[in-house]
Structure 1
Amino acid sequence: MKIGILGLGLIGGSLGYDLRSLGHHVLGVSRRSSTCARAIALGSVDAASVDMSLLAAADVVFICTPIALIVPQFQQLITHLPVTTVITDVGSVKAPIVEAIAPLWSNFIGGHPMAGTTDSGIEAAQRDLFVGKPYVLTPDATTPKTAMTIVEEIVRSLGANLYYCQPEQHDRAVSLISHLPVIVSAALIATCMGETDSQVLQLAQNLASSGFRDTSRVGGGNPELGVMMAQYNRQALLNSLAQYRQNLDELTNLIVQSDWADLELKLQANGKARPKFVE
């Protein structure tokens, strides 16, 4: 199968590696000719260009651009494609993307691979990135079964765990487990940097270890991605932040009241709940 990838960053480049290893002919498009050349040299794609017309020969196209560019790039892309081409995307927000694209392209299905690192760009791409990771598809009532089957088979071949949901359900869920942690983690880093005693701040930086590394990782990641998550999943994220604030206030009040027994119960309950999210 000929598969096109629009956007040769971490996700697009990683897709290219795996799809080529599965025997597909991979065509890549990037805004920078240097990225195209590098993707070919690394073996992520068979051919690459800054010209979207390269993707006219593709049976399936994955749009792997930043969230803000998905719809504008789609609008340019479809001028080069036959109507039979199946299009999917990898954006971490689904409702606004599906609402904008589905009415214009019948063979579209929204997607989101829950995989990645804090690094970006073609150099960050890696093989087997999607193995054992969740990959969400968000079809609507008009999505053709044939398009669904094609994308399903590709996703399964990557070794990913396939899930289905409505776009709005996806956005609410990822606001809780992906977008909220970015903002909370960013606030943690900002709180630490707000320490006014320079000696205490330096000591904290010297002593920071695995606990701080784990809880601060996503807050210290790609700022562009963090802003786009907040911008395009704004309401769901605000709802999650309100719930988080309520829980933080409850824990704060228990500490103010020196209610160590109830605090322990809360922490015990959280300890039992965590494995339901993280194996």
Structure 2
Amino acid sequence: MDAAVMHSALVTGTGLMGTSVALALRAHDVTVHLRDVDSAALRTAASLGAGTVQAPTEAVDLAIVAVPPPLVGRVLADIQAEGLARHYTDVASVKVEPQHDAIALDCDTSQYIGGHPMAGASRSGPLTARADLFEGRMWALTPTADTDTETLNMALELVALCGAVPVLMQAAAHDRAVALVSHAPHVVASLVAMRLEHAEEREVSLAGPGLRDLTRIAEADPRLWLDILSANAGAVADLLDEVRSDLDRTVVGLRAIAATDEAKRRSGAEVVESMLRKGRSGRARISGKHGTQPERFEVVAVAIGDQPGELARLFADVERAGINIEDVRIEHATSQLTGLVHVSVAPGLTVPLREALQARGWRLR
């Protein structure tokens, strides 16, 4: 396939995703035109340097539709009717519904390819946008039955300019996959977080990093997630049915462990241990950085104060030691203005890192 070169683009929808795409393209000197029914969001995105609010005077190379899934088909039909671009894509988090809508609305699907960058944030809006939001992230591309090769190439160029990793798949396969790795987990996280809404303050005060990690995604905008779940409701419901069956078995196992009969206790323990082992095995399958196989890292825990710049100073000292940070997790102390920074590094580097940090006055745990 011939390589495509993008000189101009139109981004319709200036929320987190659209503005982030626009900022990434502007970083590569692509001329970006912005469009949004929300004039305040449009002005904000433009003020951030994401592009111009002026309409293009000729068809751009690629139009990126960055609106909620139920709106993708209609917006695509409208901008195709205006002849605003030579090729079209979207960044919606589900793909079957937009593709069906595009066909039903007689869009030119030869010039359209679905897209979904696997990136985001708990808060929406242009002010949360970042040019590097997609760096190293997977970006699913879902061609229609007649997507033109040039359109595919232009979408691949978009993914490359955003620093992401392309994955081609069918729309239905994509929706089943995101139900598994994103949509159903969001529902489960929200269900766990629901238990906290009316809990006693003393109970909630005992929450640690495990609960924070588990419920972090429950912070996201409920209206946005209702759109996402509504567009993929069947696949998510199927998965939650399976989770419910597993949960029912686990509850029975736990009840048995609480019994006085020793045989029941042993039987219940086997059920619960099997669940925990399978959970650990499944967790190990999650990809590492850039979609690679998961790696085993070693961790150095560093005590850190709440003063401004402390985290940056720690990272700088790790860099001076000539060691790359593979991952980082921050654990805040409940009642003190301190915390622990868990720095993950490649195996064999913990000893030199500990020595280097201790030499610079850091307290290690």
Give the TM-score normalised by structure 1: 0.91
> Quick check: 1:208 aligned with 2:233?
no
Matched residues in 2 for 1:218 and 1:126: separation? 19
> Quick check: 1:143 aligned with 2:147?
yes
Match of 1:48 among 47, 53, 58: 53
- Name the residue aligned to 1:4: 10
Show CA shifts across 1:26-83 (max 9, x none).
Answer: 11111132222222221111x115xxx548532210000122222222232222116x
Report the residue type matching 1:158 in the other structure: C
Measured on the aligned residues, the alpha-carbon RMSD in Å equals: 1.7
Report the residue type matching 2:184 in the other structure: L
Match of 2:195 among 179, 188, 191: 191
Moved over 3 A (4+): 53-57
Flag the 1:78–1:55 CA change in 2: closer, same or farther, 3 A.
farther
Q: 5 Å matches for 1:238-257?
A: 238-257=237-256
SS in 2 for 1:159: coil
Offset, 1:187: 1.0
> Quick check: 1:63 aligned with 2:68?
no
Percent identical among aligned pairs is 28
Native 8 Å contact 1:55 1:61 kept in 2: no
Flag the 1:108–1:234 CA change in 2: closer, same or farther, 3 A.
same
Native 8 Å contact 1:60 1:86 kept in 2: yes
SS in 1 for 2:185: helix
- Name the residue aligned to 1:198: none
- Name the residue aligned to 2:97: 96
With a CA cutoff of 8 Å and minimum separation of 6, indicate the structure with the bigger relative contact order. Answer: 1
Report the residue type matching 2:241 in the other structure: A
- Name the residue aligned to 1:167: 171
Offset, 1:130: 0.5
SS in 2 for 1:242: helix
Matched residues in 2 for 1:122 and 1:246: separation? 40
Show CA shifts across 1:157-198 (max 9, x none).
Answer: 222111111111111111111110111111112223254xxx
Report the residue type matching 1:101 in the other structure: A
SS in 1 for 2:10: strand
Report the residue type matching 2:134 in the other structure: F
- Name the residue aligned to 1:222: 221
> Quick check: 1:180 aligned with 2:202?
no
SS in 1 for 2:284: helix
Unaligned regions of 5+ residues in structure 2, if any?
Answer: 1-6, 258-267, 289-365
More strand per residue:
2
Matched residues in 2 for 1:96 and 1:57: separation? 26
Matched residues in 2 for 1:101 and 1:232: separation? 14
Offset, 1:136: 0.1
Give the TM-score normalised by structure 2: 0.70
Show CA shifts across 1:229-269 (max 9, x none).
Answer: 22111111110110111111121111111122332232122
Match of 2:122 among 111, 118, 127: 118
Flag the 1:144–1:122 CA change in 2: closer, same or farther, 3 A.
same
Matched residues in 2 for 1:266 and 1:241: separation? 16
- Name the residue aligned to 1:237: 236
> Quick check: 1:133 aligned with 2:142?
no
Flag the 1:256–1:55 CA change in 2: closer, same or farther, 3 A.
farther
Matched residues in 2 for 1:55 and 1:121: separation? 27
Native 8 Å contact 1:67 1:91 kept in 2: yes
Native 8 Å contact 1:90 1:113 kept in 2: yes
Native 8 Å contact 1:8 1:64 kept in 2: yes
Aligned length: 269
- Name the residue aligned to 1:260: 269
Offset, 1:272: 2.1
Match of 1:77 among 70, 76, 79: 79
Whose Rg is larger?
A: 2
More helix per residue:
1
